[in-house]
Amino acid sequence: MPLERSWIESANSPETDFPLNNLALGVFTADGVQRCGVAIGDRILDATGLEEAGLLTLGDTPVLDLPFWNEVMELGPEAWTALRDRLKELLREGAPERDIVTSLLHPMDGAELHLPFAISEFTDFYAGRHHATNVGTMFRGAENALPPNWLHIPIGYNGRASSVVVAGTDIRRPWGQLKGPNDPGPRFAPSARFDLELELGAIVGQASDGTVTVAEADAMIFGYVLLNDWSARDIQAWEYQPLGPFQAKATATTISPWIVMRAALEPFRCASPAREVALLPYLEEPGPMLYDIALEVDLTPEGASPTTIARTNYREMYYSSAQQLAHHTTSGCPMNVGDLLGSGTISGPTKDSRGSLLELSWGGKEPIPVGNQTRSFLEDGDTITLRGTAQGDGYRIGFGPCAGKLLPALADPYAR
């Protein structure tokens, strides 16, 4: 599919994340009020204003009056298609509504962005084979790198929805229980091994109340965001046996401000890798369920220039979001509109394609260069920025930058 041209010239640039083909959805502040918006070139279209003006009608009652996209999700896939079709009508080259729509455009530069949807529950997976192999090798040795279940199950665990924040939100280095392998006991101190995780987040747009197939799961996915699952490796190492990560992952998870709808990614579908062992039938994919999305991680020390510390691609995953969601329902677990599923860390096969500092610095043993500094784990003042783009024919689909800055730990977290 070629570029779909818009009368908004900046949307036709091959350098924008937001051509007419994308139509990513967010929430922004206009005149002091949070409103639903659509990214188009270097502008944000006030979708709530479109609905108020009678230019966009999706349901019997307003669905964009509250500042999140959940109500549109609830309307279901036909409404999702209708939304895109109508937005394209209004924004395509030659659209007759140009004048009135122009009055609803706001500059993206400097806009205040918010969480684009109300997050119901958050589940994180561990479904990238390179990542699981790297981490497993560090913790259990190369012979036992992959747990016995790994090639059969998209391993997941429940995260904490309350800790999900939108890009641009500062992150505070957490305190926690830490114990080095030779320490006699734990101490309570700021995390010294605070890390990022490069992930893609899938947004569940339809509820279910029983087991769903992979095809059904794919159809339930409304769209995707970039996701940084901040992780305190030292807290994790001491707490995670036997019931998994808990406080290590509860400080914050940052998502990109823009939801890229599944429809915008259709041209970029690609197959999962060959299976070393056959999957159980309930996990078999009816077609390609990954996407060719180039990803990169920039680290910007306080007052310094950014360094790209990793480049990889979402097609490196072993399990797709649709498989993860299908597995999530096997027990009968009800899924709700607004559930967020993290893909798991997306690492590639090479050293420079690893999606966490844990892997990039090999547990801190091989610090990586960052400008004229080095990093094993994050330092106070570091900003991490994730980027993701699917390259089309003369255009690209992007998520906008997913950035977060690490602030120093509080001197005393119990000071009142």
* Site residues (vs a copy of itself, CB under 8 A): 120-121, 126, 147-149, 152-153, 155-163, 172, 174-177, 179, 185-188, 210-211, 213, 232, 235, 238-248, 250-252, 277, 280-282, 327-328, 330-336, 339, 413-414
- Residue 233's SS3 state is helix
| C-beta of residue 325 within 8 angstroms of C-beta of residue 221 | yes
| C-beta of residue 314 within 8 angstroms of C-beta of residue 293 | yes
Q: Which is nearer to a copy of itself, 21 or 329 (CB)?
A: 329
Q: Which is nearer to a copy of itself, 210 or 273 (CB)?
A: 210
**How far, in Å, CA of 273 to CA of 132, rounded?**
15
Q: Which is nearer to a copy of itself, 16 or 191 (CB)?
A: 191
**Structure-block tokens of residue 200:** 């893609």
Q: State the catalytic residue, choosing from 106, 131, 327, 328.
A: 131
| C-beta of residue 199 within 8 angstroms of C-beta of residue 340 | no
Rg (CA), the chain: 21
What is the closest distance, in whole angstroms, from the C-beta atom of residue 303 to a copy of itself in the complex?
25
**How far, in Å, CA of 93 to CA of 73, rounded?**
28
What is the closest distance, in whole angstroms, from the C-beta atom of residue 207 to a copy of itself in the complex?
9
According to DSSP, the residues that pair with 39 across neighbouring strands are 44
What is the closest distance, in whole angstroms, from the C-beta atom of residue 391 to a copy of itself in the complex?
33
What is the closest distance, in whole angstroms, from the C-beta atom of residue 160 to a copy of itself in the complex?
6
| Beta-sheet pairing, 164-166 with 253-255 | parallel
Q: Which is nearer to a copy of itself, 141 or 303 (CB)?
A: 141
| Omega of the bond leading into 96 within 30 degrees of 0 (cis) | no
What is the closest distance, in whole angstroms, from the C-beta atom of residue 304 to a copy of itself in the complex?
26
| C-beta of residue 305 within 8 angstroms of C-beta of residue 371 | yes
Q: 302 exposed, middle or buried (CB, 10 Å; 0-12, 13-18, 19+)?
A: exposed
| C-beta of residue 7 within 8 angstroms of C-beta of residue 93 | yes
327 catalytically annotated:
no
Q: Which is nearer to a copy of itself, 163 or 272 (CB)?
A: 163
Q: Residue holding tokens 């429940």?
A: 158
What is the closest distance, in whole angstroms, from the C-beta atom of residue 162 to a copy of itself in the complex?
4
What's CA 158's distance to the chain center, in Å?
16
First to last CA, the chain: 58
Q: Which is nearer to a copy of itself, 107 or 332 (CB)?
A: 332
Residues with catalytic function: 131
